[in-house]
Chain A
Amino acid sequence: MCFPLNRTETVMWISTNSYSLCLFFFCSSGSNYAMSNGGGAASSTTHLLDFLEEPIPGVGTYDDFHTIDWVREKCKDRERHRKINSKKKESAWEFTKSLYDAWSGWLVVTLTGLASGALAGLIDIAADWMNDLKEGVCLSAMWFNHEQCCWTSNETTFAERDKCPQWKSWAELILGQAEGPGSYIMNYFMYIYWALSFAFLAVCLVKVFAPYACGSGIPEIKTILSGFIIRGYLGKWTLMIKTITLVLAVASGLSLGKEGPLVHVACCCGNIFSYLFPKYSKNEAKKREVLSAASAAGVSVAFGAPIGGVLFSLEEVSYYFPLKTLWRSFFAALVAAFVLRSINPFGNSRLVLFYVEYHTPWYLFELIPFILLGVFGGLWGAFFIRANIAWCRRRKSTRFGKYPVLEVILVAAITAVVAFPNPYTRQNTSELIKELFTDCGPLESSQLCQYRSQMNGSTAYTDNPNQPAEPGLYSAMWQLCLALIFKIIMTIFTFGLKVPSGLFIPSMAIGAIAGRIVGIAMEQLAYYHHDWFLFKEWCEVGADCITPGLYAMVGAAACLGGVTRMTVSLVVIVFELTGGLEYIVPLMAAVMTSKWVGDAFGREGIYEAHIRLNGYPFLDAKEEFTHTTLARDVMRPRSSDPPLAVLTQDDLTVEELQGIINETSCNGFPVIVSKESQRLVGFALRRDITIAIENARRKQEGIMLNSRVYFTQHAPTLPADSPRPLKLRSILDMSPFTVTDHTPMEIVVDIFRKLGLRQCLVTHNGRLLGIITKKDILRHMAQMANQDPESIMFN
């Protein structure tokens, strides 16, 4: 049973599971929440006069860059549901309306899944094609990329799988010759030219049409899902520009991925479709349920991992995740994955380019290098977060951030110039990861599989693995090391550019390179020292013992875990990517190690760090508040501040009210009985008051500047010649949350987190003392952690 919150001991009973139950009791227990706006009907105990008042248009909406009131939105939704249910038995039309209302959630989620799958297919196909455009063109069919161009050709050989006469490189087209130093320089030049033009187009489109389309999108979506409003962030133009420029950014060869932006694209689809249904468009809390499902669909099409997508939405992105959202998210993820599969972008019915399947076993002693890979992942994650945040802070605060277009062009130029000579950085990062994940077998001919055989001295690979390395393999290892260093440095400068950029693929590439290097090193160690105890126990001479592809996979998971600090969702995503149930234990060992090592250097993942950099009002549910401060240490006004701006319930005139609103910048004002008694009546929001006054001056006659404003049920007694008084009771929140000044801050922070409050009033002996807002709590937490409390920017 839930009680009003001025009894602090009963607050302990509030838990996330009974969150909705709590609000049900609040809204229906005659506590007189007068919320006639947005919901339409009155609550059960309102009087007839309130029933006759029409709702004021615009009351109940929110300003840009403000936080929503979760309690109010949930109450509005229950009112709407009650109204529909009570009317259900009246006629067949009402019954149909109630069915439509119940099923509209599933409809929105299905449409979102369809749209996400379709757009992901478009992005994949277009990005593949444009990527290969830097190399050359397919003369017979201009819309094919390199692999598709040589699909039917019979001139491909075992050693060179992608040579065919229909595909012409730029040097062949322009100079007429395919080999030689001149054509190398021409190819180099065309590569840089295309990379720069794609990057320039991308940043210009973002700047002119939709500046919100830049960046990854996941930090902002996390903040939006916790209750923040950013108008236009999930709109039509942002969706279109993000789709188009994501393809351009990926094709320009920059060190970025498309997973984070795909989550943003999916959430835009969810937001747009939710506007078709008034159940979701008018209620911000319900809309966020749809957005949670949409983000699951986004990750599902990015990786081909529906379950991983749902877990990612649960662990990383969503703030409140009721069970109903779990089922709907799963449905959205499945629909999106199904649509993507039927578009079949890669021609092999697989969802992701690097889906590999191997079932070679791993041995216990291999846990040591796996844990070492985990340590590497954690260290790299901590280093990357620090370096990237320092660079973004410099971009934010110095003159350097004033030239975003120039910055993008410069980074793209450096990336193209350094990446072309090394074949591992020249190719698409997804293809690189696939090559690293693939284990060497008789059918592979890449440079990583060039071992010397004992049979007849040829350089071809034979049945006998664990052979000493050929010079080809040594040069591949050198190139991989250089690629690793290059990627580590460039990703720091690329994440945060003003083009859509994701982080998953570059992190996985870095981890895969490191893992493959370790795997090949272990393999050579096992060959040259096969008489060591470890190898003699488990490895037979001449048998397949170490699989470097598995090391690459574990390394990729470790690095991704180190930078984002994901746990369960990462393991499930990688497991769904590879289909290997046997590899769960090494994956978990590496991911746990990387999380522990990363947490030793700083508790935040990259997304929380970016949230803190931008100053969003995000109250993290994962951090524990362990200090012993009380509510009166945090509340405003402090002893040096001017007294709290309050409204009396029937003393003010319209002019005085407007004066109070103009002089202060508070978002809301407590309403008290009188200045002598200071007893609390309710809480009124600034936006609602201004809208109500404007509306009254327009619609009702006789409201003048010295009209009395009253929040009570009946007008106060006034002299006969006074102008008509203005009743503002309908916008008053009569059940604001209060705590006493001796409440420990741990409990106050818990209340804010679990109920999604924006402000909480502080009373002392029953009289109003002050107010605590979410911004005050965030500043207090920053102060306690010795960070800059002035960096919290928004309400």
Chain B
Amino acid sequence: IELFAIEDLTSVVLCSQTFLLMQNSEDIRCKCICPPYRDVEGQIYKQNVSLKDCTCLHVVVPMPVDGKDVEAYCLRCECKYEERSSGTIKVTIIIYLSILGLLLLYMVYLTLLEPMLKRRLFGHSQLIQNDDDVVGDQQPFANAHNVLSRSHSRPNMLNKVEHAQQRWRRQVQEQRKSVFDRHVVLS
């Protein structure tokens, strides 16, 4: 079952990120790096001031040298204005972790719970029927069947979902055979 269409995912990511680009006051800073000078050690100064105040005189407080040396000291310092968007980072991590969590739950369901449930409800025969795959390549008319058999639409929504899920699982099983077992692709 396709849980999220990619269009949904991308639009969620984009929308949430543009929505949260409102500036937090903690998200701007001016960072001044001052190397060692005579007997003063190297230091890093940070303050959240705006771009026009991002100069050595504003940010390097308290000034470690006196009067005449201030200019020489400030010449060696480098001040950079930086901004970030903590909202974007927060939303992205939450989206990522939720998708990861959902996938993990679905994986646990597919590998552990579903076989157990099916065995309990239907017995062994159903399981064997599900695992019986027709190898599509060797039968010349199998592909023709796949192409033309689109008219088996039962009106029941649940059956449609079930049908789509079965088709997806068959595809994944074919892919797994090609990649992991026969080592035919992607080795």
Residues on A facing B (Cβ under 8 Å): 57-58, 61, 63-64, 114-115, 118-119, 121-122, 125-126, 129, 141, 143-144, 148, 151-154, 156-159, 161, 201, 204-205, 207-212, 214-215, 220, 230-232, 236-237, 239-241, 244, 247, 268-269, 272, 339, 343-344, 347-348, 392, 395-397, 401, 404, 442-443, 445, 458, 460-461, 496, 498, 613-615, 661-662, 686-687, 690-691, 694-695, 698, 793
Q: Decide if B46 touches A154 in the complex (CB within 8 Å).
A: yes
Give A742 to B45 CA distance when docked, in angstroms. Answer: 80
Tell whether, in the assembled complex, residue B143 and residue A119 are in contact, meaning their CB atoms are under 8 Å apart.
Answer: no
Stretch of B49-57, B118-126, B173-181 that contacts chain A? B173-181
Q: Determine whether B171 belongs to the interface, using a CB cutoff of 8 Å to chain A.
A: yes
Among A126, A212, A348, A392, which residue has its beta carbon within 8 angstroms of that of B82? Answer: A348
How many whole Å from B106's CB to the nearest CB in chain A? 8
Judging by beta carbons under 8 Å apart, are A148 and B84 in contact? yes
Is the beta-carbon distance between A460 and B42 smaller than 8 angstroms?
yes
Chain B residues near A158: list those with CB within 8 A: 33-36, 41-44
Supply 16 further A-B pairs (C-beta < 8 A) apart from A143-B93, A347-B84, A404-B180: A118-B13, A125-B88, A141-B90, A158-B33, A158-B44, A208-B107, A208-B172, A209-B103, A211-B175, A211-B180, A236-B5, A344-B84, A347-B83, A395-B187, A686-B140, A690-B140
Q: Given A126-B92, A207-B180 in contact, is the A118-B14 Cβ separation under 8 Å?
A: yes
Contact A211 B176 (CB under 8 A): yes
Give the residues in chain A near B171, CB-CB below 8 Å.
231-232
CA distance A184 to B100 in the complex (A): 30
Asked if A445 contacts B42 (CB within 8 A), the reply is yes
Report the separation of the CA atoms of residues A158 and B10 in the bound assembly, to the nearest whole angstrom: 41
Task: Compute how far the CA of A749 lies from the CA of B94 in the bound complex, rounded to whole angstroms.
Answer: 54
Assess whether A129 is in contact with B93, with CB atoms less than 8 Å apart: yes
Shortest 5 CB-CB contacts between residues of A and residues of B: A158-B42, A347-B84, A58-B147, A442-B35, A143-B93
Contact status B172-A496, CB under 8 Å: no
Given contacts A57-B148, A344-B85, contact A212 B93 (CB under 8 A): no
Bound CA–CA A154/B83 (angstroms): 17
**Does B184 belong to the interface (CB within 8 Å)?**
yes
What does the 1/0 interface line of B4-27 toward A look like (CB < 8 Å)? Answer: 111101100110010000000010
Partner of B104 from the list A201, A339, A443 (CB cut-off 8 Å) is: A201
User: B48 → chain A, closest Cβ, in Å?
Assistant: 7
**A614 contacts B148, CB within 8 Å?**
no
Q: Tell me, in angstroms, the Cα distance from A498 to B180 when the chains sit together.
A: 9
Residues of A within 8 A of B14 (CB): 114, 118, 339
Which residue on B lies nearest to A276, using beta carbons? B7
A125–B35 CB distance below 8 A: no
Given the complex, which residues of A lie within 8 Å of B136, measured CB to CB?
Answer: 64
Q: How far is the CA of A119 from the CA of B95 in the complex (A)?
A: 12
In Å, the complex CA distance between A347 and B29 comes to 11
Determine whether the beta carbon of A119 is less than 8 Å from that of B10. yes
Instruction: Name which residue of chain B comes closest to A152, CB basis.
Output: B26
By a CB distance below 8 angstroms, the chain A residues around B13 are: 118-119, 121-122
Q: Kindly identify which residue among A144, A230, A458 contacts B185, using a CB–CB cutoff of 8 Å.
A: A230
Chain A residues positioned under 8 Å from B92 (CB to CB): 121-122, 125-126
Tell me how far the C-beta of A415 lies from the nearest C-beta in chain B, rounded to whole angstroms: 21
> What is the CA–CA distance of A319 and B23 in the complex, to the nearest angstrom?
46
Q: Are B6 and A236 touching (Cβ within 8 A)? A: yes
13 contacts between A and B (CB under 8 A): A57-B148, A119-B10, A122-B92, A151-B29, A158-B34, A159-B42, A204-B107, A232-B175, A237-B168, A347-B85, A442-B35, A498-B180, A793-B184
- Asked if B78 CB lies within 8 Å of chain A CBs, one says yes
| A348 neighbours in B (Cβ, 8 Å) | 82
Contacts of A220 in B (CB 8 A): 185-186
Task: Across the interface, name the chain A residue whose C-beta is closest to B94.
Answer: A143
Q: Looking at the complex, which one of A152, A161, A614, A661 makes contact with B186 (CB distance below 8 Å)? A: A614
Chain A residues contacting B147 (CB-CB under 8 Å) are: 57-58, 61, 691
Whether the pair A690, B144 counts as a contact (CB closer than 8 A) is yes
**Contact across chains for B86 and A148 when beta carbons are under 8 A apart:** yes
The contact of B2 among A215, A231, A237, A686, by CB within 8 Å, is A237
Does B89 touch A at the CB level, under 8 Å? Answer: yes
Nearest A residue to B99, CB-CB: A244
* CB of B57, distance to nearest CB on chain A (Å): 18
CB-defined contacts of A58 to chain B, threshold 8 Å: 144, 147-148
Q: What residues of chain B have their CB less than 8 Å away from a CB belonging to chain A? A: 2, 4-7, 9-10, 13-14, 17, 26, 29, 33-36, 41-46, 48, 76, 78, 82-86, 88-90, 92-96, 99-100, 103-104, 107, 110-111, 136, 140-141, 143-145, 147-148, 168, 171-172, 175-176, 178-180, 183-187
Which chain B residues lie closer than 8 Å to A211 at the CB level? Answer: 172, 175-176, 178-180, 186
CB–CB B185/A661 < 8 A: no
A460 touches B104 (CB 8 A): no
- Chain A residues near B148 (CB, 8 Å)? 57-58, 691, 694-695, 698
A117, closest chain B residue (CB): B14
Per DSSP, chain A at the interface is helix
Given A207-B176, A344-B84, A690-B140, the answer on whether A125 and B93 have CB atoms closer than 8 Å is: yes
**Given A61-B147, A695-B148: A212 and B175 interface contact (C-beta under 8 Å):** yes
The closest CB in chain A to the CB of B2 belongs to: A236
Bound-state CA distance A795–B175 (Å) is 18
Assembly CA distance A151 to B82 (angstroms) = 10
Question: A628–B48 Cα gap in the complex (Å)?
Answer: 74
Partner among A63, A126, A215, A698 whose Cβ is within 8 Å of the Cβ of B93: A126
Q: Are A401 and B183 in contact (CB under 8 A)?
A: yes
Residues of A within 8 A of B85 (CB): 344, 347
User: Across the interface, which residues of B come within 8 angstroms of A161, CB to CB?
Assistant: 44
- Report the bound CA distance from A268 to B6 in whole Å: 10
Q: Determine the distance from Cα of A661 to Cα of B143 in the docked complex, in whole angstroms.
A: 14
Is B41 within 8 A of A347, CB to CB? Answer: no
* Nearest A-chain residue to B47, judged by Cβ: A154
Please report the C-alpha to C-alpha distance between residue A205 and residue B176 in the assembled complex, in whole angstroms: 12
Residues from chain A with a CB closer than 8 A to the CB of B82 are: 347-348
**A212 vs chain B, min Cβ distance (A):** 5
Alpha-carbon separation in the docked complex, A156 to B29 (Å): 14
Given the complex of chains A and B, what is the CA–CA distance between A691 and B145 in angstroms?
Answer: 8
Q: How far is the CB of B179 from chain A (nearest CB, A)?
A: 4
- When the two chains form the complex, which single residue of A141, A148, A694 contacts B144, counting CB atoms closer than 8 Å? A694
Task: Select which of B6, B17, B26 is within 8 A of A343 by beta carbon.
Answer: B17
Bound Cα distance from A157 to B36, whole angstroms: 12
Cα–Cα, bound, A564→B154 (Å): 52
Question: Which residues in B have their C-beta under 8 angstroms from that of A121?
Answer: 13, 17, 92
Q: Could you tell me if A208 and B33 are in contact, using CB atoms closer than 8 angstroms? A: no
Q: Whose C-beta in chain A lies nearest to the C-beta of B96?
A: A126
Q: Are B95 and A122 in contact (CB under 8 A)?
A: yes
Closest to A153 in B: B46
Q: Is the CB of A114 within 8 A of B10?
A: yes
Residue of A nearest to B76 (CB): A442
Q: Which residues of A contact B104 (CB under 8 A)?
A: 201, 205
- B10 — nearest CB in chain A belongs to which residue? A115
Please indicate the chain B residues that have their CB under 8 angstroms from the CB of A244 in the complex. Answer: 96, 99-100, 103
B44 CB contacts on chain A under 8 angstroms: 156-158, 161
B187 A392 Cβ-Cβ under 8 A = yes
Q: A151-B84, A157-B44, A614-B187 are in contact. Are A63 and B176 (CB under 8 A)?
A: no
Closest to A687 in B: B143
Determine the residue in chain B with the shortest Cβ distance to A129: B93
Q: In the complex, what's the smallest C-beta–C-beta distance from B172 to chain A, in angstroms?
A: 7
Chain B residues near A236 (CB, 8 Å)? 2, 5-6
Measured CA separation A496–B185 after assembly (Å): 12
Q: Which B residues lie within 8 Å of A210 (CB)?
A: 172, 175
Q: Who on chain B is nearest to A662 by CB?
A: B140
Q: A208-B111, A211-B172, A344-B85 are known contacts. Are A460 and B36 too (CB-CB below 8 A)?
A: yes
A154: B residues at CB distance < 8 A: 45-46
Cβ–Cβ < 8 Å partners of B46 in chain A: 152-154, 156
A63 vs chain B, min Cβ distance (A)? 6
In the bound complex, residues from chain A placing their C-beta under 8 Å from that of B45 are 154
B51 vs chain A, min Cβ distance (A): 13
CA distance A201 to B143 in the complex (A): 35
